[in-house]
Amino acid sequence: MDSRSKDNRDTRKRTKSSISPQQLIELGKLPPQAVDLEIAVLGALMLDKDALSNAIDILKPEAFYKEAHQRIFSAIQSLFSKAEPVDILTVTQELKKNGELEIAGGAFYVTQLTNRIASAANVQTHARIVLEKYLQRELIRISTDTLQHSYEDTSDVFELLNKAEQNLFSISQTNIRKDFEHIRPILGKTIKEIEAARNQELSGVQSGFTSLDRITGGWQRSDLIILAARPGTGKTAFVVTMARNAAVEFNKPVAIFSLEMTANQLVSRFISGETELPADKLRKGELREHEYQQLNSKISRLVDAPIYIDDTPALSIFEFRAKARRLKAQHNISMVIVDYLQLMVSGQEGKFSREQEVSMISRSLKAIAKELDVPIIALSQLSRAVEQRGGSKRPQLSDLRESGAIEQDADIVMFIYRPDMAGITQDENGMSTDGMAEIIIAKHLNGKIDSANLMFIPHLAKFVEPSSSVVPSGISANVDDFDPNNTIIRGSRMNLSLIHISEPTRLRRIS
């Protein structure tokens, strides 16, 4: 075997494992570090109790480059959590009790830490620099590991990509805490928002449903709104209708992350709702000439609507955060819709139970809503318990599937309740429940618990106000039904209604 082959084999062996900080030093690359500032921080924490309160929540043991400093900081953390005094003597005693005094450099080294600083005044700044160096080292570690495994033919590229996303996401969670603010500037900002709200009806993004907006005041910035219902109840139809209303009627940019339906299927819903042409006819292409004219004339409002769709399946929370940030920066989106929460992945598959994963996802969605300052509406499934219950089968908070954390993290929890799907054909007044839908607000952190009554039009996959002029499924009309004023009289099992038609259009029975 020649020396070149031997060298190549040795190189391949070396790439099997990640490069450690010590190996980087041997290669001539010193990892980012600030040992002098680490000493200054530790000395300040043992010297001044105010410094301890100001900086201890910024750092964690692994943020320190030297192992001795990691052990000393862990001892300081332990004392602080037990509300015990933190000074040279107590820290030394804590290290001795844990059997780590020698690893930490001995009692003399701990004593010398306080002699290296003149003042603890800048401890927060020093702590933030120490944290930045740690984040730099973590980025180098993850990038080096990814680079090495990318050269290996045996590596699964998708598994490698997923691992890189997980690691980067974990780093993104290690950020510098936002500091507290005095109430005065917050009061000023809040008063300005109240004054601005005087000139408009709603303070949030309007859903387009008057009865619902009256309860919520619109979807408020930084809120996490959970919309839950059993499959087939119309969750997607409801958010598609809201997205259309926000984008078309109020020119609010909306982002939709559809994990269940493709972008084409979702856009077909938009077209059906906008043109009032049945979805099945659009899907089969069974349109008559006047219906094509109707399609072309009404679709124009959707063409320029600020609606952005992403249909990536099994979207990870890391990808979602990155894409949502980009949409906010590029298009200043006002609302985000996720369809639906249980199809998202945490990026930590196999490490936690599914319930813990869903909890991580819901917490992350709330954090992203606050970070981007936009409402996030996430669809969620209900458990089968709602179907096994007797009576009206009205959903309740305990029916939220897989995690109680969803209820805890959400600012608003809403349910779609359709009596006809629960086998209830008449309401308490003896009227037909066909198409009736109740939007139940079961949790409202900043408002009242209430409900809004809407109508669901199945053949259009669309929700409307009860007074809307949309033709319900099963109602027929023809050109002879039109009067000179373009008004058509139509009968249903419930009542007779006068519905104004803007252009004479031949309609046929939808079976």
463-483 per-residue burial string, b: 16 or more CB within 10 A, e: under 16: bbbeeeebbbbeeebeeeebe
Token digits of residue 361: 């996802």
List the one residue out of 274, 297, 215 whose CA is nearest residue 457.
Answer: 274
| Token pair recorded at residue 510 | 């939808």
C-beta of residue 336 within 8 angstroms of C-beta of residue 257: yes
Q: Are strands 307-310 and 376-381 parallel, antiparallel or unpaired?
A: unpaired
CA dihedral 197, 200, 203, 209 (to 10 degrees): 160
Instruction: Select which of 100, 132, 165, 260 is catalytic.
Output: 260
Place of tokens 């031949």: 506
In the block, residue with structure tokens 């809120």: 223
Coarse DSSP helix, strand, coil percentages of the chain, rounded to the nearest 5 percent: 50, 15, 35
> Would you call 260 a catalytic residue per the annotation?
yes
Give the number of other CB atoms < 10 A from CB of residue 409: 21
Cβ neighbours of 220 (radius 10 Å): 20
* Unique residue bearing structure tokens 């001539």: 28
| Angstrom distance (rounded) from CA 89 to CA 264 | 68
Beta bridge partners of residue 376, listed in sequence order: 224, 336
Two tokens, residue 101: 């005094």
- Calpha distance 334→255 (Å, rounded): 8
- What does the alpha-carbon distance between residue 110 and residue 102 come to, in Å, rounded to a whole number? 10
CB–CB of 287/367 below 8 Å? no
Q: Is 425 exposed, middle or buried (0-12, 13-18, 19+ CB in 10 A)?
A: exposed
Query: What amino acid positions are annotated as catalytic residues?
Result: 260
